[in-house]
Structure 1
Amino acid sequence: MNLRFIHRNLKARFRDQRQEIKALLAHIRPGDTVVDCGANKGSYVWTLGRAAGKTGQIVAFEPQRELAAYLRDMVQSCGLHNVRIEEKGISDHAGTMQLMIPGGGTSPGASLEQSILQREDCAAYPVEVVSLDGYFAARTRKITAIKIDVEGHEFAVLKGAQHILEQDAPLLVFECEQRHLAGATVPEILAWLQARGYDGWFIRRGALRPVAEFRSELHQRQSGERFWDAPDYCNNFIMQKP
């Protein structure tokens, strides 16, 4: 058992992603299937694995090869037999895409979006990508929840899961920032989800606020150095069907 890995999960649950994980744990029951898109170092994996129980399943996607290998080791060392690590990216199609990694090595900012090259120097290599609808086409159990942290590629992830959203109505927990997006805006993505029956909240100063109150110019103001660290900067959303 790796205590550092477990500590990372506890820190996420009780401090850094408190509202997101609270919503997931309120929604997940033993035996459920949960998807983690962009697992990175696995801050949700241990918690989700325990919530779904021995009869459930967590499928965690992480295209960075070093991190996928790390996650496989952590899952094995922690005895999380209900967690499957997939070294794949998630998009709206199946194939191969270039994964851009700021600074080389590994990074929580790795993205499938070419627009990242306008902001940062990146290493890049090809990775396999799948859509959630395609990957889970033969599923026999519905998907209960999907967590998405893909640095600007979230609209493609959602578009590639339209059948799942319609048929299974999973809880969605996702990060979405205008500074990472190309070809869409945060309000457009929220409106796209609302048109499909979803509603929910964004997180402001650790509290939930209705999505209807979200304003990009106010809640994702891009002014000042490291504006994304400002107390009123909001980039995390929780949405579900009533």
Structure 2
Amino acid sequence: MTSNDPRDLDGKNLQNAMQTLGRNPALRARMIALLRECEGQVACTGAVRDEVVGPIIDALHLDSDEYEKVLADGTRFQFLYRTKIARDFLLAEVEHPTHVWEPQTTKLLLELGRDLQGDVLVGGAYFGDQAVLVARQLAGHGLRVHCFEPNPQQARMLQRNIDINHLGNAVVNVAGLWHRSGEHMRLDGFDSFANMVAAQDGSGFDTVAMDDYAQRLGLRVGLIQLDIEGAELAALQGAQQVLARDKPHVVFELHRHYVDWSHGLRATPLCQLLLNLGYTIFAVRDINSHREMPGQPVELVPLDTVYLEGPPHGFNMLAVADPARVQGGAFRIVEGVSPKLLPHKAAQLHHPVGGF
């Protein structure tokens, strides 16, 4: 028997209803504006964005929906509505924000870019949320940003963002960084969450080892950034000549889904690789979202003092050959705290010094 109770809508019907509303751009924009306004008024023990507002906004969209936003410095970004990177950027609290994603990591990359002596290699460049800003900073300094993005849709969006910002010093490689060049891989998973696995057919992409790439192009490397869903170790194994010769700064993600840190971060193969090459390693305190944090220095947690408790999570790390590089007003060294900045969690562990 069919119920006439409107509360009997199942999840699929509700999803279809929300997507139908979302096909009207004007209505969608009004709904997003209302939901943004509601964020500060909803009583929730968890993260309101992730648990209440975000899922409703996600339901309004298709993966093919596109947006454009302009940053405060005039940088233009066009992006597909996929994952919370796009969602949280869309929900920026100001019309022209200072960044796209992860405010403190973005600050870190731009600070490191101030005095680079070599090119930048970015693994998992996505639509250019951070790589485009680094390329813009380095434009006119004779340095290039070499982007590796195996997702063809995001690689096309990355190239578009390079083009609309007139960046002649950025290069897009539709390839994945790995310990050996010429392997054939494919992405397993959705968009920014996808990880590389061996491809058994003709689909997919080829891998590149950074050592081979740098040798082929005659590069000196000043900075490596990696956010490649568990392939960070393999990528750095393919860059040991570059690491030993050029001593670039390395910014990389470490995630509990891919890395066993039950014996501490120092014992992980990834950290061991860098420590054996003479690097000093810190965790980078950041919020896995878009949030304006003006005037906040980049907080770094020494390797052996990182608070790691909690559900499986990931965060960015910084490895530097010379720890003096992170002294000064742009940085703050803090111990015994979590790298995860979480406004809804305990302040002593998850808030920056001095608060948000």
Shorter-chain TM-score tier: 0.7 to 0.9
Q: 1:240 aligns with which of 294, 309, 320?
A: 320
More divergent stretch after superposition (27-36 vs 158-167): 27-36
Is 1:208 the counterpart of 2:300? The answer is yes
SS in 2 for 1:85: strand
Amino acid at match of 2:76: I
Partner of 2:196: 112
Counterpart CA distance in 2 for 1:13 and 1:143 is 27
Bigger proportion of residues as strand: 1
- 1:163 maps to what in 2? 241
Is 1:70 equivalent to 2:157 in the alignment?
Answer: yes
The size of the alignment, in residue pairs, is: 216
Q: In 2, distance between residues paired with 1:22 and 1:157? A: 24
Unaligned stretches of 5+ in structure 1?
115-123, 229-233
Contact 1:153 1:181 in 2 (8 A): no
Change beyond 3 A, Cα 1:174–1:13:
farther
Is 1:153 aligned to 2:231, yes or no?
Answer: yes
Q: What TM-score, normalized to structure 1?
A: 0.78
Cα distance per residue 1:36-85 (max 9 Å; x no partner): 11111211122111221222201000011111112112211110111011
Q: Which secondary structure does the structure 2 equivalent of 1:56 belong to? A: coil
- Aligned match of 2:222 in 141, 144, 151? 144
Q: What is the SS of the residue equivalent to 2:196? A: coil
**Would you say the 8 A contact 1:91–1:153 is kept in 2?**
yes
Code of the residue aligned with 1:172 in structure 2: it is V
Identity of aligned residues (%): 21
For residue 197 of structure 1, report the CA deviation from its aligned partner.
0.5
Corresponding residue to 1:199 among 249, 267, 280: 280
1:78 maps to amino acid: N
Superposed counterparts of 1:11-90, under 5 Å: 14=99, 16-28=101-113, 29=115, 32-54=118-140, 55-90=142-177
Which position in structure 1 is the counterpart of 2:212? 134
Q: Which amino acid aligns with 1:191?
A: Q
Shift in CA distance, 161/53, structure 1 to aligned 2, threshold 3 Å: same
Counterpart CA distance in 2 for 1:85 and 1:38 is: 11
C-alpha distance after superposition, 1:120-164 (max 9, x if no partner): xxxx94211110000111444421101000100100000000000
C-alpha distance in 1 between matches for 2:259 and 2:250: 18
Are 2:172 and 1:172 aligned?
no
* TM-score between the two structures when normalised by the length of structure 2: 0.54
1:210, CA displacement in angstroms?
0.5
Q: Distance in 2 between matches of 1:101 and 1:39?
A: 17
Counterpart amino acid of 2:184?
Answer: M
Aligned with 1:188 (options 269, 272, 278)? 269
> Structure 1 residue 15: deviation in Å?
7.5
Shift of 1:236: 1.1
Task: Provide structure 2 residue ranges, at least 5 long, that are not aligned to the other structure.
Answer: 1-67, 80-84, 288-298, 323-356
Amino acid of the residue matched to residue 273 of structure 2?
W
Tell me, what secondary structure is at the counterpart of 1:194?
helix
Larger relative contact order, structure 1 or 2 (CA cutoff 8 Å, min sep 6): 1
Alpha carbons 2:151, 2:174 under 8 Å: kept: yes
Q: Is the 8 A contact 2:116 2:223 kept in 1?
A: no
The structure with the largest alpha-carbon Rg is 2
